[in-house]
Structure formats: structure tokens, C-alpha cells
Amino acid sequence: MSQISLTFPDGNSRDYDAGVTPAEVAASIATSLAKKAISATVNGAHWDMQWPINEDARIAINTMQDDEPALELIRHDLAHIMARAVQEIWPDVKVTIGPVRDNGWFYDFDRQEPFTPEDLGQIEAKMKEIINARDAVKTEIWSRADAIKYYEDNNEPYKIELVNRIPEDEDLRMYWHGDWQDLCRGPHLQHTGQVPADGFKLTHVAGAYFLGDSSRPMLQRIYGVAFKNRKDLKAWETMMEEAAKRDHRKLGREMDLFHMQEEAPGQIFWHPNGWKIYTTLQDYMRRMQEVDGYVEVNTPQVVDRKLWEKSGHWDNYQENMFIVEVDEEHAREKAINALKPMNCPCHVQVFNSGLKSYRDLPLRMAEFGSCARYEPSGALHGIMRVRGFTQDDAHIFCTDDQIEAETKKFIEFLAKIYADLGFHNWTIKLSTRPEKRIGSEESWDRVEKALGDACNAAGYEYEIQEGEGAFYGPKLEFTLTDAIGRQWQCGTLQVDPNLPERLSATYIGADGDKHRPVMLHRAVLGSFERFIGILIEEHAGKLPFWLAPRQVVVASIVSEADGYVDEVVAALRAVGVRAEADKRNEKINYKVREHSLGKVPVILAIGAREVEERTVSARRLGENRTSTISLDDIVAQLKDEAQAPDLK
């Protein structure tokens, strides 16, 4: 038998017979290591303790101390253990797939009865039994025919389908956890007892389609989370509670920002507080765009289907459009209109109105465009995914040669805005040509390069998303990460030569002939509604002073102070600070509590002493201390703080 040489992390090498397994290697080092080993890393690949090694390699034996392999194995083995538990309790349930995901795993089952929360408890108990049984994990490579025969005998139709989907040149690997069998790539732990029995939890059940195919019947997916120990599980639970506290739907109610009701699903009733955030943000964006050379337009909401037919939306986007039938007074047939789902076709109409010269380009046309899209009911989510929203939309009409410079300019514009709004952690993705596309290869080459070069010129790295571009052109996506690590795609820039073509947009070139402009669709915030939702969650409701809908509450401690309270409020309002008086017959404790819960950034308490000295006792949200400041000073200070970042 031939020999191979294995090199350990400390640099030492040893020779073994070819086909040696990591289990044997570990045993050759120390019995204790063989016992606590969970897997190996062989030439960078995650390797099962039972898989043979046939050539010289670098090898490291992993234990529970190695976080990455440990968590992957724990979660992956739990997926199998859960499926085994389910089939032990309900033998008729069919198994499908169960991958590791996020902080845990899921497994999809085909079962007539829905799983109930009580079922989850029962499954969890059974899983703990399996873990305590410390059943060995075994693996073998099987032939296709044997595997299919096996699954036919065991009546597991989904597994047969999965076997048939595995490429011919790939090994079919079968795993056993005790007597329970599953088709699986591996690797796995050495035995079920290596899973920490107190570090996991089944979280919820939800429907999911087999292999994501919505034309097929829905399966039941059970989700679980798992960690190395009880402490980490608790930490995860605490984090989830924190995230729930930031939920913009909850904070929106508590801060009286907006509400939604069933007569207008997916649309927002903005209350005064919420609308103040909205208009403050919009005013800021309007100033920024003017400085950056945009012109602002406004276009119709309800537009005849003829335009949507020309733009292509009628054929490609109709199911997402609100269609409106209108009885024309003097016409027998009904006119059919649609609420605009996008602003671009209307902007081309503005562009087309009057001859444009090459001297007009690039023409940056912005609109805070109210759009309506009939989003599927299941997609709606608070103010983040709605049916009526307003984009900070703009279309840059330009020549091919201007694409790169305009893109660079836009990235710098967007970076400034994200920084002003407190987001410093964001990335760019470049989506390239998809399989179904129009336009020549040369033009795709050119435009993809222009976008990439623009990113570099602006000083930003980007990640490529192969084949994710629109059918007419590539795009950049700007994704920001919030305070608790969630990612949001907000900004976008898409190159579109198609719509100008369809809607016959032209300009007169230097040569006196007509030419076709290119359109860059671009947005920074995406939609005001969604972005405000992100802002609320990012700040847990404690918005920066300039964006806070209620900035200052001036609260009396005794009623003798009421007159001076009004004076303080008036002085603040006179310099543009949003201030209100609280002269209610309540104790200062009560008022402080209420306004703190209402996320008011500054509370100014006024008692007899402050009246006497013409001062205020200031308290900042989140701080327990107070400070006494003269009226003039606090007015000057808050006036400055209330300025939007671009005006400071």
C-alpha cells in the first residue's frame, strides 16, 4: 500500500497509508484527541472524520474549540437529528432537504397535518433523546441505482428526485445517524452525542416550496437555531428581543408616526410626527439635488395604457400595476389607465417635449415620484414594503461617453448623503449581463466596464453579481448595513438604452443629426417610506436631532413656571427648533418618563429656580444627568443642532 505524507498545523509531517481517515490520524496522535475530534480540515476542505485521504495533504483536526466547523456541524447534524425525530414520531412524513442557514438550520417535510407548536416541543424532546443515545454517524458512497432502489423501497419520492438532480460525475453519499438514513454531502460529527443538547431550539414552522418552485405544492419547513452552549443560545434570544424592540411598526405606533388600516392595505397614513420626518428628509434631498445639478419635475399619477404599452410595462409589469377603468363622458368605450408604478416613462415625455441638443446633456431629471405597485399581499411589511410609495427618483439622460463620469458623480453624491444620514457601512454590487438580454456584446462590455471604472475612480470597491443585471443593461446596487447587521439595498443606478429607444427619445448632436440618449435610472434612498423605516430601526427610534419629529419638550415643574415655559418654547420656535410645552398638572417624573419613552431628544425642565435665574434644566435622551444652562445659551446651542447636515 502506498504512503502519503500529512502535514499538521505546527509544520510537522507524518507518513500514513493512503486511504487513512482523520479518525485514524487523530487516534495515532492521542486517544483523547480522537474522542473530542469533530472533523478535519484537509487542504482547506471541511472533511468528515470517516473520509479517506488518498494523497499528500495539509491536515488539521477540528474540535468544538474551532467555532466555524463546530457550528456548521452542530447545525447540520441537528437538521438530520430533527428529521429523524420527526420520522420516528410520524413515520409517514416524507423528508426532503435540510440545510444549515443563518444561526441554525431548517428542514422541509411533506406532511398532510400542519405541525403545531406542541409538535415542536415533542420533536425537541425526541431530539434530546437521540442526542443522549450517542448514536454513531456512518457514511458510505452508493451507486445511483442502489440509492434510487432504496428510496423507492422506503417511499421517499423527494429523495429520488434529489438523486436524479445530482450531476453524474458527483459521488452519491449516504449518511446514517443511528438507523436513520439521509442523502447528504456531509461532513458530519462522529456521533450524535457530540451535539450540545442545551444549545438549540426549534423556532417556528412555515410553508416553503420544494426547491423554491412556486408551481409545486407547499411543504412544511421547521426552523431551528443552534449554538455551542446554552449561554450563546440565550445571547441569541436576547439579541432577537432587542431587534423586536427596534421594529419600526412598534416604534411607529409608540412615537405616533403613522398608522395603516385595512381599507388601504400597503399604504401609509402619516401622522404629524411621521410626516415631519418625511418632509425634513425630503427638504434635505431637494437641496442636495439642486446643488448637484438636478432639475426637479412632477408628472401624472394616472396614465393611459397606451403609454404603458409603448414603454413595455403593459406586457411585462401589468400584474404589479393598479389598473383604473374610466368612463369617458363622450366615448362609448372605457378608457383604461394605470397608476404609475415607475416614473421613467413620464420623464421621457418631459425630455421629448421640445427639441434637445447635445448641449443639454447630461440632463439630470429628478422627481419625488409617487408610485403605486400592486405588490403581492404576502410581500407587504410595515412601511418597508408597501403599495404606495415615493421614490427619490431621477433619470440622467446622457451620451454613452458620459456614463462613466455621471456614475462617478452619482456615487460621490450618494456617499455624501449616506454619511450625512449616519450610514458609513455600505457596499456596491455590480450586476452584469443576464442570459436573456438585448444589445450587442460590445456594448455590454463597454457599459459594464464604465460602471466598474466609475466605482474605482470614486475610490470604492465593488462586488460582481454575475448575470443579475436587467435585460437592457447592467446596474449598480448600493447596500447599507444597519446597527444590528441587517442589510438593505437602497441606492441603485441602472443603465438603460432600451426605454429611450421604445419611447423615441432623441437629441440633436454636434453633427446636426438626431441621436439616441442613454438613460441612467438612479435613486439614493430608494423610497422615502422604506428609508424612514430603516432610519427608525437603525436608531431604535432615537433619531438624530435634526430629523427628530419632536425635538424639545419644555416641561413645567410647578404651575408658576407656565408663563416662562411659553417664553422658552417661543424662543426655540423662533430659531426653527421644534419645541412644545408640557404644562400639565403632573409631576416632573411623570413627564420625563413619558417624553423619554416618546424618544424626545431634549427635555427642558422649568421650576421656580429656572424662572428666577432665566435658565433651563436640560436633560438629553439616554442620559440620566441634567445640566442648568442659560436660556440664551440653550437656544443658540439647539438652533445649531437643528440644522440639517448640509446647512451646517
Partner RNA sequence: GCUGCAGUAGCUCAGUGGUAGAGCACUCCCUUGGUAAGGGAGAGGUCGGAAGUUCAAUCCUUCUCUGCAGCACCA
* Closest by Cα among 384, 382, 387 to 530: 384
Based on the shown chain and the rule CB under 7 A, indicate whether residue 610 belongs to the binding site for RNA.
Answer: yes
Based on the shown chain and the rule CB under 7 A, indicate whether residue 298 belongs to the binding site for RNA.
Answer: no
* Closest by Cα among 88, 10, 544 to 277: 544
Q: How far apart are CA 477 and CA 641, in angstroms?
A: 32
Shortest Å distance, C-beta 512 to RNA: 33
Q: How far apart are CA 215 and CA 223, in angstroms?
A: 23
Based on the shown chain and the rule CB under 7 A, indicate whether residue 609 belongs to the binding site for RNA.
Answer: yes
The reply, when asked if residue 398 is annotated as ligand binding, is no
Q: How far apart are CA 627 and CA 617, in angstroms?
A: 6
Binders of RNA among residues 334 to 353 (CB under 7 A) are 341-342
- Asked if residues 106 and 222 have their Cβ atoms less than 8 Å apart, the reply is yes
**In this structure, how many other beta carbons lie within 10 angstroms of the beta carbon of residue 443?**
16
C-alpha cell of 344? 421613467
Binders of RNA among residues 612 to 631 (CB under 7 A) are 617, 619, 621-622, 624, 626
Based on the shown chain and the rule CB under 7 A, indicate whether residue 484 belongs to the binding site for RNA.
Answer: no
Choose the stretch contacting RNA; rule: CB under 7 A; options: 48-56, 132-140, 312-320, 442-450: 312-320
- In the chain, what are the helix, strand and coil shares in percent, each to the nearest 5? 40, 30, 35
Selecting among 119, 135, 392, 393, the annotated active-site residue is 393
What residues contact 211, with CB distance under 8 A and at least 6 apart? Answer: 97
Shortest Å distance, C-beta 297 to RNA: 19
Grouping H, G, I as helix, E, B as strand and the rest as coil, residue 526 is strand
C-alpha cell of 99? 440545510
Selecting among 289, 340, 344, 402, the annotated active-site residue is 344
393 included as an active-site residue:
yes
The smaller minimum CB distance to RNA, of residues 252 and 549, is found at 252
Based on the shown chain and the rule CB under 7 A, indicate whether residue 450 belongs to the binding site for RNA.
Answer: no
Based on the shown chain and the rule CB under 7 A, indicate whether residue 209 belongs to the binding site for RNA.
Answer: yes
Based on the shown chain and the rule CB under 7 A, indicate whether residue 53 belongs to the binding site for RNA.
Answer: no
475 included as an active-site residue:
yes
310 included as an active-site residue:
no
Among 193, 422, 607, 645, binds RNA (CB under 7 A): 607
Grouping H, G, I as helix, E, B as strand and the rest as coil, residue 438 is coil
The reply, when asked if residue 521 is annotated as ligand binding, is yes
What residues contact 311, with CB distance under 8 A and at least 6 apart? Answer: 344, 345, 348, 499, 502, 503
Q: How many helices (H) and strands (E) does the chain have?
A: 20, 33
Binders of RNA among residues 564 to 603 (CB under 7 A) are 585-590, 592-593, 596-597, 603
Helical (H) or strand (E) element with 87: helix 67-89
Shortest Å distance, C-beta 499 to RNA: 9
Grouping H, G, I as helix, E, B as strand and the rest as coil, residue 487 is strand
C-alpha cell of 458? 470614486
C-alpha cell of 442? 460590445
Based on the shown chain and the rule CB under 7 A, indicate whether residue 313 belongs to the binding site for RNA.
Answer: yes
184 included as an active-site residue:
no
Based on the shown chain and the rule CB under 7 A, indicate whether residue 467 belongs to the binding site for RNA.
Answer: no
**Burial, 552: exposed, middle or buried (Cβ in 10 Å; 0-12, 13-18, 19+)?**
buried
* Closest by Cα among 230, 288, 584, 258 to 420: 288
Q: Length of the chain in residues, anyone? A: 648
521 included as an active-site residue:
yes
The reply, when asked if residue 344 is annotated as ligand binding, is yes
Binders of RNA among residues 493 to 522 (CB under 7 A) are none
Helical (H) or strand (E) element with 477: strand 475-481
Based on the shown chain and the rule CB under 7 A, indicate whether residue 526 belongs to the binding site for RNA.
Answer: no
Selecting among 248, 395, 433, 530, the annotated active-site residue is 395
Binders of RNA among residues 79 to 138 (CB under 7 A) are 114, 116
Number of residues that bind RNA (CB under 7 A): 63
Extract the runs of DSSP E, i.e. beta strands, from 184-238: 200-209, 218-226
Q: How far apart are CA 521 and CA 45, in angstroms?
A: 43
Binders of RNA among residues 375 to 394 (CB under 7 A) are 375-382, 385
Sign of CA dihedral 241, 243, 249, 254: positive
Selecting among 313, 373, 408, 522, the annotated active-site residue is 373
Among 23, 27, 136, 260, binds RNA (CB under 7 A): 260
The smaller minimum CB distance to RNA, of residues 206 and 302, is found at 206
Among 152, 463, 560, 633, binds RNA (CB under 7 A): 560
Based on the shown chain and the rule CB under 7 A, indicate whether residue 269 belongs to the binding site for RNA.
Answer: no
344 included as an active-site residue:
yes
What residues contact 142, with CB distance under 8 A and at least 6 apart? Answer: 150, 172, 173, 174
391 included as an active-site residue:
yes
The smaller minimum CB distance to RNA, of residues 92 and 586, is found at 586
Among 8, 90, 317, 358, binds RNA (CB under 7 A): 317
Binders of RNA among residues 214 to 243 (CB under 7 A) are 214, 218, 220-221
Among 553, 557, 581, 634, binds RNA (CB under 7 A): 557
Shortest Å distance, C-beta 597 to RNA: 5
Grouping H, G, I as helix, E, B as strand and the rest as coil, residue 556 is strand
Based on the shown chain and the rule CB under 7 A, indicate whether residue 354 belongs to the binding site for RNA.
Answer: no
- Asked if residues 4 and 20 have their Cβ atoms less than 8 Å apart, the reply is yes
Q: Using CB under 7 A, list all residues that contact RNA.
A: 114, 116, 204-209, 212, 214, 218, 220-221, 249, 253, 260, 262, 265-266, 312-313, 316-317, 341-342, 375-382, 385, 470-471, 556-560, 585-590, 592-593, 596-597, 603, 605, 607-610, 617, 619, 621-622, 624, 626
Annotated binding site for Zn(2+): 344, 395, 521
Active site residues per annotation: 344, 373, 391, 393, 395, 475, 521
